[in-house]
Amino acid sequence: MKKTFTKTMLICGVTALTFSATNSFAQQANSSYGDEYSDAKNLVKWNVAALALKTYSFQYERAVSNKISVAMGFRMMPKSHVPFSSTIKSLIDDDQTWESIKDFKTGNFAITPEVRFYLGQSVFRGFYIAPFVRYAKYDVSLPYNFEATDGTTTIKDKIDMKGSLNTITGGVLFGAQWKLSKAVYLDWWILGPNYGSNSGSISGKKKLNSDEQQALRDALTDLDNIPLVKTTSTVDAEGAKIDFKGPWAGMRSGLSIGYRF
């Protein structure tokens, strides 16, 4: 009887221990599942690094599976002088061209849909690869300076030109995202090269005599030195127009703070 009682107690103890371990494992699994696959499938983010370029940039991201999400980015820059103008001046490498376009102002708006493939254990966390498409519109204002010769006299003049440039590009973004707290995330857009095309025009109205027309026509040919953009200019007695068309390249990068909900 004693033997049977001892055996029964041993079986009960092992059963209780097994149940306890199984229950503990189930709780841990459920806890992990709740952390990694939460019902909070949305992230809104603000690209704080874009402020250095006078730009406001936001993104909405939504999880669609364990390791895949879709996102839509919105970018807006109020019209102002181009950031890092000294760098642009060195790229143009022509003092006369720079003197003509130094007062160039631009603002832009862009939308960027993308699909993210996370390489870690779950969506929203770790390294990712994100194919994307971007549409952007740039508003341009250019007080263009030129010199006209009237016989032996050289006259400095300018024509105010305005217009817009539209671009469509595609590329791939490489980045990483980390969870900082329960609902706060950090998203680093490491490198996002993109390439596509541009088209648009700017124009200005001004009464021009034949000497002024030729001087402006000669000056506008200097715009061929602007990197990446192909230009075609026409000048007549009523003013001038510059058409833009050709390839367009860009680079995405940034650092965003996000909130998950």
Give the mean pLDDT of the chain.
82
Name the token pair of 59. 């993104």
- Note the CATH architecture for domain 39-260: Beta Barrel (2.40)
| Pair of tokens at residue 247 | 């390839």
pLDDT higher for 18 or 139? 139
Residue 226's pLDDT band (cuts 50, 70, 90): low
Task: Quote the pTM value.
Answer: 0.74
Please report the pLDDT score of residue 45 as a whole number.
98
DSSP 111-122: EEEEEEEE-SSS
The H-assigned helical ranges of the chain are 2-36, 85-92, 95-101, 210-220
Mean local confidence (pLDDT), 20-49: 61
- Cα→Cα distances 86→81, 82, 94, 223, 224, Å: 12, 10, 13, 17, 19
For the chain, the domains span 1-32, 39-260
CA angle 201/206/212 to nearest 5° reads: 100
Q: Read off the amino acid at residue 44.
A: V
What are the pLDDT digits (tens) for 40-63? 999 999 999 999 888 999 999 999
* Residues of the chain above pLDDT 70, percent: 74
Residue-wise pLDDT for 101-118, tens only, equals 677 788 999 999 999 999
